[in-house]
Amino acid sequence: MSKIKILIADDEEHIRQLVCSILDKGYQIVQARNGEEAVKESREQNFDLILMDIMMPKLDGLAACCMLKGDKQTSSTPIIMLTGVGYELNKKLSQQLGADGYITKPFNPQELRNKVSEFIKHD
C-alpha cells in the first residue's frame, strides 16, 4: 500500500516543518514555498490532499486554489486553506474558489490531524 501523499504550501519554513512534524507518521509529504510551486507540484504529482497558506509570494493561495480547482487533472484533490487570516470573508472566498476546508493559525495539532483525516480516503 502506498503512503498517502500531502502537499504543504506555505512560504514560512517553520510552519511547513511544524505541519510535517504533526503529520509525518504514515504520510508522504511534499513542500512548496509559494502558490506557483504548489500548482507546479500538483500538476507533476498526484496528491491526496493539499494544505495551503493564503498569503504567499509569486501566487497567493486563493489564486493557486482557483487554478487547481479549475484544472480537471487536479480539481478533485481536496484543498484545506491553512492561514493566519481568520476573517469570515476569506473563509467564504476560499469556499467560493473551491477550498474544501479552512484552518486558522495558530492551530491545535489535533485539530489539524482531525481535519486531514476528514479528507483522506483510507483503504
Ordered by start, the domain boundaries in the chain are 4-117
CATH class of 4-117: alpha beta
Q: Does residue 17 surpass a pLDDT of 70?
A: yes
Q: How far apart are CA 6 and CA 25, in angstroms?
A: 12
Percentages helix, strand, coil for the chain (3-state, rounded to 5) are 40, 20, 40
pLDDT tier, 123 (very low <50, low <70, confident <90, very high otherwise): very low
Mean pLDDT for the stretch of residues 103-123 = 86
Q: Note the pLDDT of residue 84.
A: 81
Write out pLDDT tens, residues 78-97.
999 998 876 787 888 888 98
Write out pLDDT tens, residues 23-61.
967 899 999 999 999 999 999 999 999 999 999 999 999
Q: How far apart are CA 9 and CA 40, in angstroms?
A: 11
